[in-house]
Amino acid sequence: MNAFITKQIPEAGLQLLKEAGVNFAIADKKLSQEELIAQVQSYDALLSVGFVRADAAFLKACSHLKVLSLFSVGYDNVEIAAATRLKIPVGNTPGVLSGVTADTAFLLMLATSRKAFYNYHKILDGKWQEFDPVADLGIELNGKTLGIFGLGNIGYEMAKKCRAAFDMSVIYHNRKPNPAAEKELEARYVSFEELLVQSDVLSLHANFSPETKALFNKDAFGKMKRNAIFVNTARGGLHHEGDLKAALESGIIWGAGLDVTSPEPMDPANPLLKMPNVCVLPHIGSATVETRNAMAVMAARNVIAGLRGERLPAIVNAEIYQ
C-alpha cells in the first residue's frame, strides 16, 4: 500500500498512514501536471494538497488510482464525473473546518465594517493623526441582516456566530431549504434576488461550479444595498473581481472581505488591497493547528480506506458504490 502526497501535511495524518502500513512519499517541490502524472504511476493513492487540477485527462492518465484523497472540503479542482466514470473514489474533509472557516468570514465581516486593515496600514505609513470625529468611520453590525449564500455547515456556523454576537437576523438562499437553520436560527429562505436586495452583510458559502461561476457580478452588486458588506470565504471564482472593484469604487456597495480570490495568489499590486473598505486574507479559512490536524487525519483515513478497498469515510462521489 503506497501513497503520493503533493505537499507536506501535519504529522497527525502521516502518523496514521505509518500505523496503517502505508508507505508514502511527499513531493519536495511543486510538480507540473506531467511530472505529477509520471510520479503517480507507481502509487496506488494520491493525497492531493493545494491546487492540483484533476481533470478528465489527468484522471484518465491516473486511472489505476484506488483513491484520490483531497486535503480540502472543496472539490472544484476535480472533474468528479470523470473520476466516477473511472471508478476512482474521491475523498474530502467536510465538517472539521466549518467552525474556523466561519470564524474567518466573521473576522472579515467585522474587519471590513471598521476598515481595520486600512487603518492598520495608516499606522505603518505614519498617518495616525489626532482624533478626528469624521475620519474613516465604519458601520455597525448590531441588528443588521445577514444573508447567507449556501447554507451548509460553514454557512450555518457563520449565521450562528452573527446571531450570537450581533443579534443579526438571517436570510439565506440555497439549492434546497435548510429546516434545521430555520428552526434553530430563525433563518428565512429567500430568492436569490431577495438575498441581494435585503442583506446588509452577504456571506458566500457555496461550492464553485459552472452554475455559480461569477454569479456575483455587476448585475448582482447593482441590486445590493449601498451600505452592504460582501464577504467571500468560499471560492474566488464566485465573484467577478472587476465588477466587485467597480462596485466598491463607485459606492454601489460599501465594502468587501475576501479570503479567496481568482487567481490565487492575488497580485500584490491589485488595487483592491489599497481600498479602505476592503480586507483581503490569503485563503487562510481553515488555517489553525487544530483544524489542519483534523484535516490531515481525515485525508489519511480516506487514503487508508481507499487502499483497503473500503468505502471512504468522507466520500464525494458516493455513487461509485452503487
Binding site for ligand DGY (CB under 6 A): 72-74, 97, 285-286
From the CB of 286, what's the least distance to ligand DGY, in Å?
Answer: 5
CA angle, 168 then 170 then 176, to 5°:
165
Alpha helices (H) along 152-235? 153-166, 179-184, 192-198, 218-223
From the CB of 168, what's the least distance to ligand DGY, in Å?
Answer: 24
Which residue, 3 or 97, is less far from ligand DGY as judged by CB? 97
Phi, psi for residue 169 in degrees, rounded to 5? -90, 150
From the CB of 93, what's the least distance to ligand DGY, in Å?
Answer: 6
Which residue, 47 or 73, is less far from ligand DGY as judged by CB? 73
From the CB of 169, what's the least distance to ligand DGY, in Å?
Answer: 27
Which residue, 74 or 138, is less far from ligand DGY as judged by CB? 74
Cα–Cα distances (Å) from 263 to 43, 72, 223, 232, 237, in that order, read 30, 18, 25, 14, 8
Which residue, 97 or 110, is less far from ligand DGY as judged by CB? 97
Alpha helices (H) along 95-240? 98-113, 116-124, 153-166, 179-184, 192-198, 218-223
Would you please indicate which residues are annotated as catalytic (active-site) residues?
235, 264, 283
- The residue whose Cβ lies closest to ligand DGY is 74
**306, 69 contact by CB (below 8 A):** yes
CA distance 264 to 262: 5
